[in-house]
Amino acid sequence: MEHPAYVDLLTHTWDMLADIATTKTASGTITLATVDTNDQPQACVVVLRSVDPEHQILQFHTDADSLKFRSLRHNPKAQILVWNETVSIQLRLSVEVNLRQDAESQALWRQVPSPSQVAYGKHPATGAVISGPFDYRTLSSQDKFVVVECHVTKIDYLSLKAEHFRAVFEKEDSWSGKWISP
């Protein structure tokens, strides 16, 4: 089997991410791994909202009261995991995040459909202990809306097809790529 070129794998990575960001179903999600303020690993699913291959940026939204927000404020390094079952590809993306509550995030807030705005702002705050499963109110608060910009620093591309192969791309190496043992 002829091995794929690095440039093909890098292009394929960004194409897969763009497909995820434009999907309006559960397959539009990615797994985010962070470390919380107690140095405990945390993983959750987030909806990938946009992809900028030119600047190597992924974007999702979160609530300012969420554990992921507090974790990322404490340590802005995280990892994103993507599994594409159709092509048997696993991507692990190392990222450094920028938490945005600025004019750009305010403009994005206006694009969030009203029914989805209720995901941002709750009373009591997200993560607070409550008496029953529905003992909270949604507030639809722009003040709690945070745009999370993920600046990709490393891509680990693993193909689990019949013949496994793996490549790593790092920003500090100008995304040149190298083969590594799967």
| Domains of the chain in sequence order | 6-180 (2.30.110.10)
**Bond into 124 cis (ω within 30):** yes
Percent of the chain with pLDDT over 70: 98
Q: Which helix (H) or strand (E) holds 78?
A: strand 77-84
* This prediction's pTM: 0.92
**CA torsion sign, 90 to 160 to 8 to 172?**
positive
Yes or no: say if 150 and 91 are a contact pair by the CB < 8 Å rule: no
Residue type, 150: C
Give the Cβ contact number of residue 167 at 10 Å: 22
Instruction: Provide the pLDDT confidence category of residue 162 given band limits of 50, 70 and 90.
Output: confident
Q: From CA 151, how far away is CA 57, in angstroms rounded? A: 5
Mean pLDDT, the chain, rounded, equals 93
Instruction: Provide the pLDDT confidence category of residue 1 given band limits of 50, 70 and 90.
Output: very low
